[in-house]
Structure 1
Amino acid sequence: MPESFSSSSSTSSKKEQCKTKIQLFLNASKLPRTGRLRSTPDTFAQVSIVPSSQSNSEDNENDAMASVVETPVSLGATELFSKSCEPRWAKVFPIEYEYGTSLTIFVEIRSPKSKSSSGECESLGGAFFDIGDLLGCRNRTKAKRLRKGGCVYAHIEPCRCNTTPSATTNNKQTSHQRKNTSSSSLSSVSNGIINFQMSALQLKDSIGRKIMTGSLKPNTYFEISRQTISPSGTTWVVIYRSNPVLESFKPTWDRVELDLETFCNGDLVRVCVLFLCVFPTVCYFYVTTPWHDFSFVAFYSHFLCLGINIIHNTNKNRHKNKTNYRIDQYSYPYSHPKNEVHPNSLDRSKQVPMFYLIPSNEKEWTMKNETMSHL
């Protein structure tokens, strides 16, 4: 009895060691236009997953696919990406995978038919992805063609919280090793949550919007992408996209609350980029593509430390008629200028950092501070 109990415990521990947690990211390209006017679609992705049989024979391969289609386990759906044939969904799907087993993902791209229809959606096609094949790929990315045209891409990334630091028998450690072990305590990092809020000031827009919509005020949103280094190069994966603020030169977006596993995958030095985007302008026969007004590079420490106030702009001279911006970080009990405080969005009890977009011209910045000091 004791021997059997020890053998069962050892097998269970081996299974736990073989299990890993991965993150799934989805995007698509060259999706077909829908409707009678062949307009750009509003799309979202429905993801389902079912562990298939562990046998590798070709005869059971079709049966495994049939079981996936018949009894799928839904993982949820992405957000609705509006007016784009190349959507990049920001929804991150965490999946547990056991090495040596076959795990199949079914991704279906769907588009709502119309606002009047009660929940009816049109399917643009679907594709199957195998987790083992994705892990064996060079960039952990695979593309599949859809039935009605276009491609869907699946990218996975193993979570760093899977590798917990081993218990060392030696009690003597140098200070440098202690710093490394404390910074690499991934269990505490994966449980952490970062929350902040963005607000913009003095945004500008082109005259072309007034010609098409009759309003100069832009519809803006921002998205956060994290850097992914692969053998083929560096790519940016979208991890968050805010709700748009309509027709405002001083937008204040909703509060962002992300776990650190989604934000930086446990790597506190990982580079992230924030893009401020203008929502596409919709006309009867024409839809403008969303363009990035500016972008800046940020680290996890930039969202926490008050000592780092300025985050430099990385989008240099992309639009000659647009002004570059810089980011100034404020947090309570830091003193705010009177006209820059948003009392409805600032929660002093939680001490959430607030970010404001200020023109990068130093003369305008000093003049603005002098005028506000007299108020």
Structure 2
Amino acid sequence: MTRVQLSLRARGLKNKASGKNISDPFAVVTLLAPQSSPQSSGGAPQVLGRTETIYDDLSPDWIKTFTFNYDLGLQQYFVVTIYDEKEKHKNSDNLGKHKEIAQSKFELGSILGSPGNINAKSVSSGGIVYASVEESAFDARKLLLAVRGRKLANVENTLFGKSDPFFEIYAKKHSPHGDSWDAVYRSEYIRSNLSPEWKAASVSIETLCGSDLDRPIKISVFDFSKKGIFTPMGSCETTVNDLVNRSNTKQPSNFKMLEGKLVIDKAWMIGDSGDAGLAGKVSNLKMSEAAPVFSTSSAPPRVASAKKPSFVDYLSGGCELNLAVAIDFTGSNGDPRRPGTLHHMNPSSSNSYQKVITAIGSILEKYDSDHRFPVMGFGAKYGGVIQHCFQCGPTPEVVGVNGIMDAYNSVFKTPLTMSGPTVFTKVIQVSAAHAIQAQRAANQVGKQVYSVLLILTDGAVSDVMATKQAIGEVCNAPLSIVIVGIGNADFSAMQYLDDNSVGRDIVQFVESQRHLHSKGSLTAATLDEIPRQLVQYFSMNGILPGSKVVLREEDIAVSSDEEEIDLGLSINAEGEIAVNGGGYYSDGYDMPAVSYPPVSSQPHTPGAPTQPFTPGVPPQPYMPGPSSQPYTPGAPSQPYTPGMPSLPASGVPSQPYAPVASSQPYAPGGPSQPYAPGAPSQQPYAPGAPSQPYAPGGPSQPYAPGA
């Protein structure tokens, strides 16, 4: 779990003010709750709070930020509702007194997976709302400042008026385009007073300086104007350490302004143990009062310790997640034409394979810019030859979750015999080669890629120790392996692979049956270890996160909400903003938006399949593409060469499988006998000891399995 903070801004909002006035926008952020099944309590929607009001501005940049707990495996939706504050109800939380301007829904993972960690949504009433996210380390300390001005310049343009001063505190942000100052705190303004005493300021240490107490900060004073145009009265730069150390030695910090001085009489930090309520107690502190005394444990160190890179740091630097999917087509899944079997397709509901693909794929695709994924199958026979790794679909990579689903469905239109044994090793080797190749190519252009192999299987592997060895041989590749058990088989061998890793731990096993009540429960369990595994891989190879991607506003892709937002806000009995209707999103296994081939509910009749098979269109061997260097997992006796798998789906490395054309439609399992998955008319295939070399189409050399 990682803490992140959300920042908001808007551009070109619709003016809801009357006459020649301009709206004064503020925003309310509401975290939506999953609408789970009765077996799971998804909680209730929660209002996280409201921003400050930006006066006379239809393109506001709000300073107030909002903190979330981020988890890769959980979808977190929130709604931003923007209101025009009415003058006579200024600072009132009674939203019925204000006019709604716009409303947009965002998903936290989608923001973090986007370039620059920012999303933009157009609103139907006009304008664009921007939501950006960055990591907020769990540093609960706050800096408290007692600030006053002394004989400040009067920059008021009227003849007899005086300035209405307020101050802002800025954090220094670094980017490839140069440093910038971001406002993180704004005080109240003091009307007509050139020697103002403001309420004590409270600022998060993490937000202000990222826990680096020697990072420069800036304080600027302005003359407030209802028109939103603030006249500078002076500014200064300092550090948290400098302010606190001066305060500890009873030396006020005096900073020269355009005229007069900005004086910080007291500066101190509070933490989260025993003094969490003190921030409220000092909110009205004045200069004549003594600052609270805190334990020496609150004293800041002079040098902050180096921060270890995090998963969010790598995402912010542009690291992408590549997903590969491998699907079990062994005979133990049952006849896919029979209802109740694991691969059975029903146009009105999803089978278990489809549920897992859509649930996990819909999350991971947000972290891949091109949304292209390889889909592989294993455990089926073509031409009587068992294939432990073959391409699903007509292309080596498919686009999006719908593409994965189409590739999965297409396998049942090919001349396969669902057979066995269950072997993962080939899929693991091919995926590791693909992962290494992808990271190598990304590194050449200054980017980073980490791969996730999702294996869906209905049973245990036939050779646990061989699988464990194969995992150990690829444990240093930029790869995580997630195995999801489908159905009710004995998965103890799969759990063994999860619990007994060789080298770097890259395996996570989850039984899907335990998470049928909630899609969020499944994705949280399956993706739980990936952030740690990614950071571990890059750290052990000395690869630091890239510089945070910074986009110009005009380069940020703008989308729109595809559905109406069901959310009502009001004031509860305690006087707080609360949800009075809606605020939920579906957490069920939604039906994928793809078309399925018709599947008969009756037993298959040989010679009358629902769709005739077209010879010459079998699945192709999966080829991850050429690589400049051979992949060597664990230094085997022969180098592994990506792009030339030794067990292609067709059974013929040099030529695709081309069954003899027939005027009759294809009848799986042979026309004389009904189709029996896992029990073809031929004798079971014995890898490594065939009675005759298999030579479909008459190639120049016989096919030699295992060589």
TM-score by length of 1: 0.61
Residue of structure 1 in register with 2:3 after alignment: 21
**Number of aligned pairs?**
264
User: What letter corresponds to residue 131 of structure 2 in structure 1?
Assistant: A
SS at 2:245's partner residue?
coil
SS at 2:287's partner residue?
coil
- The reply on whether 1:147 has 2:89 as its aligned counterpart is no
Q: Could you say what the CA RMSD is over the residues aligned between the two structures, in angstroms?
A: 3.3
Conserved? CA contact 1:51–1:102, under 8 Å: no
The change in CA–CA distance for 1:32 and 1:292 in structure 2 (over 3 A counts) is farther
Residue of structure 2 in register with 1:108 after alignment: 81
- The reply on whether 1:47 has 2:20 as its aligned counterpart is no
SS at 2:6's partner residue?
strand
Alpha-carbon distance in 2 for matches of 1:247, 1:78: 26
Q: Quote the offset at 1:252 in angstroms.
A: 0.8
Q: Quote the offset at 1:311 in angstroms.
A: 7.5
Q: Quote the offset at 1:324 in angstroms.
A: 5.7
Q: Quote the offset at 1:126 in angstroms.
A: 1.4
The change in CA–CA distance for 1:198 and 1:328 in structure 2 (over 3 A counts) is closer
Alpha-carbon distance in 2 for matches of 1:207, 1:290: 10
Deviation digits for residues 118-154 of structure 1 (CA, Å, limit 9, x no counterpart): 7422111112222122212332233322333232222
The unaligned stretches of length 5 or more in structure 2 are 37-41, 268-284, 295-707
Conserved? CA contact 1:112–1:121, under 8 Å: yes
- The reply on whether 1:279 has 2:185 as its aligned counterpart is no
Q: Quote the offset at 1:226 in angstroms.
A: 1.0
Alpha-carbon distance in 2 for matches of 1:34, 1:269: 44
Moved more, 295-304 or 231-240: 231-240
Residue of structure 2 in register with 1:323 after alignment: 258
Residue of structure 2 in register with 1:202 after alignment: 151
Q: Quote the offset at 1:85 in angstroms.
A: 2.5
* Pairing of 1:235-246 with structure 2 (within 5 A): 235-246=180-191
Residue of structure 1 in register with 2:326 after alignment: none
Alpha-carbon distance in 1 for matches of 2:181, 2:78: 23
The change in CA–CA distance for 1:344 and 1:48 in structure 2 (over 3 A counts) is closer
Residue of structure 2 in register with 1:364 after alignment: none
Q: Quote the offset at 1:52 in angstroms.
A: 5.3
Deviation digits for residues 311-349 of structure 1 (CA, Å, limit 9, x no counterpart): 877xxxxxxxx93666555459xxxxxxxxxx9533225
Residue of structure 1 in register with 2:210 after alignment: 265
Alpha-carbon distance in 2 for matches of 1:24, 1:247: 35
Residue of structure 2 in register with 1:95 after alignment: 68
Residue of structure 1 in register with 2:516 after alignment: none
Alpha-carbon distance in 1 for matches of 2:109, 2:115: 12
Deviation digits for residues 97-117 of structure 1 (CA, Å, limit 9, x no counterpart): 111322222111111345279
Conserved? CA contact 1:309–1:327, under 8 Å: no
Residue of structure 1 in register with 2:669 after alignment: none
Residue of structure 1 in register with 2:175 after alignment: 230
Q: Quote the offset at 1:86 in angstroms.
A: 3.0
Q: Quote the offset at 1:298 in angstroms.
A: 2.3
User: What letter corresponds to residue 223 of structure 1 in structure 2?
Assistant: E
Conserved? CA contact 1:228–1:237, under 8 Å: yes
Conserved? CA contact 1:124–1:147, under 8 Å: no
Counterpart of 2:242 (choices 302, 319, 326) is 302
Alpha-carbon distance in 1 for matches of 2:112, 2:9: 18
User: What letter corresponds to residue 229 of structure 2 in structure 1?
Assistant: T
Q: Quote the offset at 1:241 in angstroms.
A: 1.0
The change in CA–CA distance for 1:221 and 1:96 in structure 2 (over 3 A counts) is same
The change in CA–CA distance for 1:200 and 1:128 in structure 2 (over 3 A counts) is same
Moved more, 137-146 or 221-230: 137-146
Alpha-carbon distance in 1 for matches of 2:243, 2:76: 37
The change in CA–CA distance for 1:331 and 1:94 in structure 2 (over 3 A counts) is closer
Conserved? CA contact 1:102–1:132, under 8 Å: yes
The change in CA–CA distance for 1:112 and 1:331 in structure 2 (over 3 A counts) is closer
Alpha-carbon distance in 2 for matches of 1:274, 1:30: 29
SS at 2:242's partner residue?
helix
Conserved? CA contact 2:151–2:194, under 8 Å: yes
Alpha-carbon distance in 2 for matches of 1:277, 1:99: 42
Residue of structure 1 in register with 2:337 after alignment: none
Larger Rg: 2
Alpha-carbon distance in 2 for matches of 1:241, 1:297: 16
Q: Quote the offset at 1:80 in angstroms.
A: 2.4
Alpha-carbon distance in 2 for matches of 1:257, 1:140: 27
Deviation digits for residues 14-64 of structure 1 (CA, Å, limit 9, x no counterpart): xxxxx111011112233333333131212210101225599xxxxxxxxxx
SS at 1:144's partner residue?
strand
Residue of structure 2 in register with 1:126 after alignment: 103
Q: If each structure's strand is expressed as a fraction of its own residues, which one has the higher value?
A: 1
Residue of structure 2 in register with 1:81 after alignment: 54
Conserved? CA contact 2:150–2:260, under 8 Å: no
Alpha-carbon distance in 1 for matches of 2:133, 2:161: 41
SS at 2:236's partner residue?
strand
The unaligned stretches of length 5 or more in structure 1 are 1-18, 55-67, 162-189, 314-321, 333-342, 353-375
SS at 1:230's partner residue?
coil
Alpha-carbon distance in 2 for matches of 1:237, 1:344: 27
User: What letter corresponds to residue 45 of structure 1 in structure 2?
Assistant: A
- What is the aligned-residue identity percentage? 23
Alpha-carbon distance in 1 for matches of 2:35, 2:242: 46
* Pairing of 1:329-340 with structure 2 (within 5 A): 329-330=264-265
Q: Quote the offset at 1:94 in angstroms.
A: 1.0
Alpha-carbon distance in 2 for matches of 1:325, 1:27: 34
Counterpart of 1:136 (choices 113, 117, 122) is 113
User: What letter corresponds to residue 219 of structure 1 in structure 2?
Assistant: D
